[in-house]
A and B are shown apart, each in its own frame.
Chain A
Amino acid sequence: MLSYQSRAALDVLIPSTPCVLSPHSQLSKMSYYFTILSPTDTPIFNIAFGTSKGGGDGIARFRFPDTAQYMNQFIIHSSLDIVEEAQWTNGGMYLKHIDTYPPATAYISAFLTPSGARFLLLHQPPQLPSSGTSGSLGSSSLLGSSASTTRASSSSVAANPTSPQTEEAIRQFMNEIYESYVKTAMSPFYKQGMEIKSPVFRTRVTAAGKKWL
């Protein structure tokens, strides 16, 4: 579903990229992949979106080639190791940035809910100049297309995933989603662990993403 969505998005975008996007928007397009995991690690909600700040168009462009979109899930799943560890050492519900996947510079932030569901947000800044140069030496085969993506500066706030501003923005985003999640989960037709299919919830998440990220 996700891959279909983003593929469609890319199909639309590729021919029009030069004219639609201003140079500025290319600088700071973060891509986000947001997942809610049930206590049994089953994903109950998935959404991929891009930043809407700084002229972003809200469409995710991950660095993986189109055929490797499963990597998002692999990375999220692998970061559960860290979530499990961090949840005992961190008192808050929002665990901040907990994990990184260096080969694709993907960052994971996590939020715990009392019911055991976990919100995981994978955010991936666009190719940084530094990793661009090292990538040109020969990137791994998994990221085959990564070397060709645009170079961008890390100066903008949104492009620096570990800055306090980003942490704060994600916290706001998570809190807003938590509120919607609680409301959704309290619906009499929703059973714990079920997939969230509510379109209202999806639009709320999208709106929160637009607002904060």
Chain B
Amino acid sequence: MTSPGDAAPVKPPPSLSRGVARSTSKGRFPEGPESTHSIDAELPETPTATSPTTSLPTATELPVRSASPHARSVRSSTPQLARSSLGSPFDRNIDGSDDTRSLIIRAFSPAVAIFASEDTDELVRNKGFQGGFSELIRPFGETVSGKVVIRDSVGSSRAWEDYGVRFMNLRGFGRIPTGRESARDSPLAQMEEVLAKQLITGDNILGASLPSKDVLGFPGTSPLSKLLLRQLLSSTRPAPHETFSHPVASVIAISSRNTAPLETLRQLYSESSSGHSRLPDWVNQEYLRYYVLVHDEERDDITESTKLYDQMKRHFGLHCHLLRLRSSQCVVTDDDSVQVPTCEWLSPMEHLSGVGEAETLVDLGTDGTPYLFDSDVTAIKTFVRELIVQSVIPFMENRVAVWNDQVASRRRGFSGRLVSMMGRRFAGLGSGSRSSGSGPGGSGNFDPALNSYSPETPEAILRKMADFAFMLRDFKLASSTYEMIRSDFGNDKAWKYHAGAHEMCAVSTLLNPLSMSAKIKLENIDQMFETACYSYLTRCSDATHALRSLSLAVELLKSRGGSATESAAKWAMRVMDFGLVGPVGNVLFTERVAACYASKTPAGGAKWGARRRKAGMWNILAADQWLKVGQPTMASGSLEEAERLYAEVLETEGVFPMPEMQRFVDGLRHAIKVGYLESRGFGAHDETAADHSLGTEETSEKLDKRNHRRSLIGLPGQLDAGNLNIPTSGRDTENQPNDDFERA
């Protein structure tokens, strides 16, 4: 029972991920530097990064470079990865290097349902949390203080810095699926709305963050696309085909104010397992129950509570906790007030309803950001840690082991395969035509009417086991289990399950740190994403999940580097092709394509192999699109990025060899400048005044123009000869007004 107080300061986390998680709770945007830092290790631009690139022996670098850019290969040649599971290779190599991976891993956290009695919610509401007990502890579940040690299926332990769980209200769980059909497409629309809102409200913050992005070299993931990803990962609702949002445990809470505590606990238990708060039938009802007694420090007697707590422990076993809270509301002026962290994982709906929006606008009002007493925070953190480390994780490990033993191993062996195949064959024969919808071949466990497997069937259990393994970050077991079941779902025509298993199989394979060194076949991964996407989109018309799997494909393939980045870019283009995202999302994915190409680095210090021109082109396209959605500031950021990328491949900086490109880029530059000035309230005519009064972006653009004009005068003869006829005439007409307007 380590208290977080002494666990936390032991040593600073080696991974960035938790630090990022912390900082995001304050404001979403200053995290740019961290992310850039992690990526630019792969870029040869920064002087620090060049040394590993050039020092690499070129001879060992194969010209084929199918799986690894040098940055990756440096890493994979380190001996840690070869050791299967000693130590924690994750901490150093993956989390530290790429926080997008960590973001994705954290997105699939176990869900813990909260089922609090009325008196508990009442107590918490007095403290200023209108949502009751679940709202109070929800932010604290997202990051567990200290390390969490998890044993995987082979029995080796690994410590995680960034583990967390998702607290949710059990009462809300059953209600959501009812309104599902009507609002099927709404998460995507909501997401777009959130992005648009963020663009408006966060305009200043974004504008401020853009230059810093440039200073540090390369933007890893722009804050907005990170927001998009986070939104996407938290927007999926509980569904039968994946169990990530099904509760792994449920916390049943009563308070010391309760007059009949044990009866209330019993009643809550029966209500959650058979009453009207029972989870839908497709959820496995076999989850952990955890009992919490919330003690009111100010009104009630601790001896009474302790007595009650002992009684609870006798009745319910070890899964109990006594949480001591003060019942009065804390305000910012109190001595030991601590701001409650905001939730990182808010669904688009919650974003729009303003759950997490209080952060920047509220100054000192008590209605906005809630505060808690320091002692309360400590108590809650201790509770959460104890809940996770001592109950939830052992429970999950246990379930995985049991299911692995009882269900999976039966399938895995040769005889198991034979039996399942024979059963399938005979079942198919028995029911006549296999293709008829009513009698799907296979095991027949799938219920087409309900569109789900019942949770007791082997298929559902295997899926749940794989999900548990995934949430326990045992990606090897997860991917092998998904691999095992994915074809079964196809045989049963359970398309959503089919899609989900393919998606998660690919994701877990990509997340598996050991397959980083071993060359896994990229075609297989691509094929899996392809299948998942087809099943989601065409067979189930589930755009949210399709978009989620495509985004995961983009981010994970990009983080693998090497030729996978081109695959990543391809998937990002696919997203746009499918039209899954709105205008803002479209621009963000255009930027992702650019980022994917930009992250491809030349092999082994050679000059070729990078994708600078492609990245530059996509940034130009992004700038164009930003302008179309009316965001000149963002457009100027993209344009600067493009210029930076192009600078290395163009003979003369800012001068494109192709006349039409030149014309287009010049026009874009001008349009962005005008748009920017107009958005700042300057008319088109007083631009010059604005030139002097404006900030950083303007000066840099001006420099570019200078460069450009100088280069026009002193073009190298060779270029001149080629360019003279068409281009200069075109450029002169383009430049004339520009000159005027700068001179005026």
B partners with A: yes
Chain A interface (Cβ < 8 Å from any Cβ of B):
1-3, 37-38, 40-44, 69-70, 72-81, 84-85, 87-89, 102-103, 131, 134-135, 137-142, 191, 193-195, 197
Q: In the complex, which residue of chain A has the Cβ closest to the Cβ of B625?
A: A141
* In the complex, chain A residues whose CB is within 8 Å of the CB of B609: 84-85
Since A2-B660, A37-B657, A81-B611 are in contact, a sample of 19 more A-B pairs with Cβ atoms closer than 8 Å, ordered by chain A residue number, is: A3-B660, A42-B722, A43-B658, A44-B722, A69-B660, A70-B660, A73-B659, A73-B661, A76-B658, A88-B606, A89-B64, A134-B577, A135-B577, A135-B579, A137-B580, A139-B577, A193-B719, A194-B721, A195-B723
Q: What residue in chain B is nearest A139 (Cβ atoms)?
A: B579
Q: Given known contacts A43-B657, A84-B607, A102-B574, is B722 in contact with A142 (CB within 8 Å)?
A: no
Contacts of A69 in B (CB 8 A): 660
Among candidates B578, B621, B660, residue contacting A134 with C-beta atoms closer than 8 Å: B578
Q: How many angstroms between the C-alpha atoms of A84 and B648 in the bound complex? A: 14
B120 to chain A, nearest CB (A): 47
A residues near B663, Cβ cutoff 8 Å: 70
Cβ–Cβ contact A138 & B63, under 8 A:
no
Specify the chain A residue showing the minimal Cβ separation from B64: A89
Contacting residues, chain B, for A76 (C-beta < 8 A): 658
29 of the cross-chain contacts (CB-CB < 8 Å) are A38-B718, A40-B651, A40-B657, A40-B718, A40-B719, A42-B723, A43-B658, A70-B664, A74-B617, A74-B620, A74-B661, A75-B617, A77-B617, A81-B608, A85-B608, A87-B608, A88-B63, A88-B606, A102-B577, A134-B578, A134-B579, A138-B579, A140-B577, A141-B625, A142-B621, A191-B721, A193-B721, A195-B722, A197-B725
Q: Answer yes or no: B656 CB below 8 A from chain A CBs.
A: yes
User: DSSP class of B's interface residues: helix, strand, loop or mixed?
Assistant: helix
Instruction: Give the distance to chain B from A64, nearest Cβ to Cβ, in Å.
Output: 11
In the complex, B636 has a CB within 8 A of chain A: no
Check if A70 sits within 8 Å of B722, measured CB to CB: no
Contact of A78 (CB < 8 Å), options: B64, B613, B660, B664:
B613
In the complex, the chain A residue whose C-beta lies closest to that of B537 is A137
- Bound Cα distance A15, B589 (Å): 37
Minimal beta-carbon separation of B670 from chain A (angstroms): 15
Specify which chain B residues have a CB less than 8 angstroms from the CB of A141 in the assembled complex: 583, 586, 625, 628
The residue in A3, A74, A87 that gathers the most chain B C-beta atoms within 10 A of its C-beta is A74
CB distance from B573 to the nearest CB of A (A): 5
Instruction: Classify the interface of chain A: helix, strand, loop or mixed.
Output: helix
For the complex, give the distance between the alpha carbons of A41 and B610 in Å.
16
Give the docked Cα–Cα distance between A74 and B621 (Å): 10
Distance (Å) between the CB of B456 and the closest chain A CB?
38
Interface bits B280-295 vs A (CB < 8 Å: 1, else 0): 0000000000000000
Q: Which of A1, A70, A139 contacts B661 (CB 8 A)?
A: A70
| C-alpha spacing A139/B580, complex, angstroms | 10
Complex alpha-carbon distance, A87 and B63, angstroms: 12
Whether A103 pairs with B577 at a CB distance below 8 angstroms is yes
Which residues of chain A come closer than 8 Å to B611, judged between CB atoms? 81
Q: Hey, which chain B residues are within 8 Å of A1, CB to CB? A: 726
B residues 706-742 in Cβ contact with A at 8 Å: 718-719, 721-726
The 9 closest A-B pairs by CB, nearest first: A138-B579, A42-B722, A137-B579, A70-B660, A73-B658, A84-B608, A42-B657, A78-B614, A70-B664
Asked whether B412 is an interface residue with its Cβ less than 8 Å from the other chain, the reply is no
Determine whether the beta carbon of A77 is less than 8 Å from that of B658.
yes
Segment 618-644 of B: residues with Cβ below 8 Å from A: 620-621, 624-625, 628
Contacts of A3 in B (CB 8 A): 660
Residues of B650-684 at the interface with A, using a CB-CB cut-off of 8 Å, are 650-651, 656-661, 663-664
